[in-house]
Structure 1
Amino acid sequence: MGIVVLLVYVDDIVITSSNSALLGQLKTHLSESFHMKDLGSLLYFLGLEVHHSPSGISLNQHKYVSDLVATAGLQGATSIDTPMELSVKLRKEEGDLLADPSLYRKLVGSLVYLTMTRPNISFDVQQVSQFLQTPRHLHLATVHRIICYVQGTSTHGLSFPTGNSTRLATYNDADWAGCVDTHHSITGWCVFLGDALISWKSKKQDRVSKSSTEFEYRAMSFAWSEIIWLRGLLMELDFS
């Protein structure tokens, strides 16, 4: 026996299984009912590049980053070592408004999608995504900096090693009153399954915390909710 997982997006299907015989049976059954083309091992799907090796599977969005750089008009820009300056605190009403915010919104939306394989920019993208309604030139300059950073690290991504354990390990933290406009704290967490990072988030808390203890408990609560959901999902997939 085994499990089969099937993912459908419009007319594209990704299938994986713990049992190769079951996988073959499903593909045969589907091909008898629908006109299908088997493209073999997964290499590219919705901007995700999949690389197979004896040590495991790795994911990145190298081509997606190249397209993003072109959209931003930064092909000749120099890559930089960090996505944001450490001391920068973005404010809602600092600097002049952009005459046309559409490009800003498009770039931020693309960066949000990029966090699918780049958890290290989640906090920075969360920062710039706060200003979609009234973006300013300083906010756009910050977006450009993030893009210059990912341009120089476009092959970075996620790794899923062979023989990985199913032990969950979670880390979380919070930045007390990290938002200078609302004084809401910013929560972050990451969850590892063995040595593989499988879940992460950077999110502004929905209310002002009156003490450092309060905002830490809120951060822990967010992380626990994610742990409970992941444990349920893993049990459904027959991983204890």
Structure 2
Amino acid sequence: MGGSSNVVAQSWKLCRAVVEVFSEQYLRSPNANDLVRLLQIGESRGFPVYVDDIVFGSTAKKLKDEFVEFMHSEFEMSMIGELTYFLGLQIKQCPDGIFLNQTKYAKNMVEKFGMKSSKTVRTRLGQQDKLSKDAEGKDVDQKLYRSIIGSLLYLTASRPDITFSVGVCARFQSALKESHLKAAKRILRYINGMSELGL
């Protein structure tokens, strides 16, 4: 816990230092510990900082150029350019909007749990997969099941199509049975055939 707190504190210190260079007014977002927004009349810029990763955006090119120049003068920087990948999210900027997906993460996850060569399915949960406590069912490896659910929950950031099914499976982590593991693996089989979906 202490190490995590130190990382957050250091990230916030970096945010505050950068903000003070650009503006006397700064605002810490109430929704995220790692987000700072800089506000100026008619223009705005902001950057989330996650450990040593910074994403910067601005409504004005001049502000963006000032930020890049400052960061190069103060820190050793790499990969300055259009955002394409951040914290497992792949970002594609298109003429009509921005497309977010986790295709790489999804494919790696399917492979990690040994489902790459499994037969794909077109639905997350089948009609027969009405999960219950299944008290008479066979016990299974809790560590494996929780690992699958944790990985699936992270994928829901860009995959609302699996949110409900993953949520249903997550309810049974404390008393899971073979039927629950089978349902979770079915979601993996679905992702195996639909890994390129996103927002």
Of residues 181, 189, 192, the one that matches 1:140 is 181
For the residue of structure 2 that corresponds to 1:157, the secondary structure is coil
TM-score, with length taken from structure 2 = 0.74
Residue of structure 2 equivalent to 1:96: 138
Q: 5+ residue gaps in structure 1?
A: 159-240
Residue of structure 2 equivalent to 1:53: 94
2:138 partner letter: D
Rounded Cα–Cα distance in structure 2 between residues aligned with 1:21 and 1:79: 49
Would you say 1:64 and 2:105 are equivalent positions?
yes
Tell me how far 1:101 sits from its aligned partner: 1.1
Q: How does 1:1-240 map to 2 (within 5 A)?
A: 1-94=42-135, 95-98=137-140, 100-158=141-199
CA deviation string 1:122-159 (max 9, x = no partner): 1101101111122211111101100111111111110x
From the two aligned structures, give the one with the greater strand fraction.
1
Residue of structure 2 equivalent to 1:189: none
Q: 5+ residue gaps in structure 2?
A: 1-41
Rounded Cα–Cα distance in structure 2 between residues aligned with 1:88 and 1:75: 22
CA RMSD in angstroms, aligned pairs only? 1.4
Q: Find runs of 4+ consecutive structure 1 residues off by over 3 angstroms.
A: none
Residue of structure 2 equivalent to 1:164: none
Tell me how far 1:89 sits from its aligned partner: 2.1
Asked if structure 1 preserves the Cα contact closer than 8 Å seen for 2:129 and 2:183, the reply is: no
Asked if structure 1 preserves the Cα contact closer than 8 Å seen for 2:153 and 2:166, the reply is: yes
Of all paired residues, the percent bearing the same amino acid is: 37
TM-score, with length taken from structure 1 = 0.62
From the two aligned structures, give the one with the greater helix fraction.
2
Moved more, 125-134 or 23-32: 23-32
Moved more, 140-149 or 43-52: 43-52
